[in-house]
Amino acid sequence: MHNLNLVKMLDFPQLGDERGELIVVEGGTGIPFEIKRVFYICGTKKNVIRGQHANMKTEFILINVAGSSKVRVRDGSGNEALFVLNQPNTGIYLPRMVWKDMYDFSDDSVLLCLASTHYDANEYIRDYDEFMQIVRDGNNI
């Protein structure tokens, strides 16, 4: 099984009333890992591609809490999937060792990223050819 089979959309509970919506995202409950890092991407122009990397150790949840964006994931073996994030109560789970490209950001996009590890530049694979070679060699770390 390749890691692309592990990528999945998630729905988060909405607890709304006449005051508005409250969306709950909890590590260990709706998230399959302990959250170690939180960051968000905003102010990105529509023609800019973010991500463009794979991670040897880190898992991610991506949630567009405002606006919309698209996420293309690839497994390095020729398989890919495309997801549209446009609702604040849905997200996408990305396991380690999948290539991710985030793009087509709306002007009001705020893409929230939850990560399973603290930042470590050494665990990022930023060259797609290198990523494909690692996958081909079976060195999925």
Would you say 114 and 58 are in contact if contact means Cβ atoms under 8 Å apart? Answer: no
Residue with tokens 């809490």: 65
Measured distance CA(97)–CA(77) in Å, rounded: 12
Q: How many CA atoms lie within 13 A of 5 on its CB side?
A: 3
Would you say 40 and 102 are in contact if contact means Cβ atoms under 8 Å apart? Answer: no
User: Which are the contacts of 132, defined by CB distance < 8 A and separation ≥ 6?
Assistant: 76, 77
Residue 118 annotated among the catalytic residues of the structure: no
The sign one gets for the Cα dihedral 54, 8, 69, 40 is: negative
Considering 2, 50, 53, 70, which one is annotated as catalytic? 53
Catalytic residues: 53
